[in-house]
Amino acid sequence: MISKKHRLTKKQFNAVFNNGTIFHSDLFTICVVFGEIIPKASVVVSKKISQPAVVRNTLRRKIFASINECFQEKKITNGAYIFFLRRKKLPSHKDLVEIIKQNIFYIIKNN
């Protein structure tokens, strides 16, 4: 889990959702507003991805772990990000966190 200072509040979430720039990849749709001093993030996993909450929360935790590594490595420097998981069938590797991290780097580097 990421620290509280790196999480979006509900008010910030709505602002990023309404005013953000949208980028797409195989795994995510990311809504971004650049300009925040401290990078902040939020993750949304829809019920369309998986009905049981246990599976959705596990996916959220894995995505948050990848985002936290990005914050620690200074790969994400500033901005507010909302990650929408959009792919129903994810690779069932033990390296899922690494695959998610590579996908995040790809989107941020190419946009």
Q: What angle do CA 39, 40, 46 make, to 5 degrees?
A: 145
For the record, the structure tokens of 63 come out as 């995505």
What is the average pLDDT across 63-73? 85
Residue 106, pLDDT score: 82
Give the global pTM. Answer: 0.83
Give Cα 111 distance to the centre of its chain: 15
pLDDT digits (tens, 9 = 90+) for 13-31: 999 999 999 988 888 888 9
Instruction: State pLDDT tens for residues 98-111.
Output: 888 888 888 877 76
| Rounded average pLDDT over 78-88 | 82
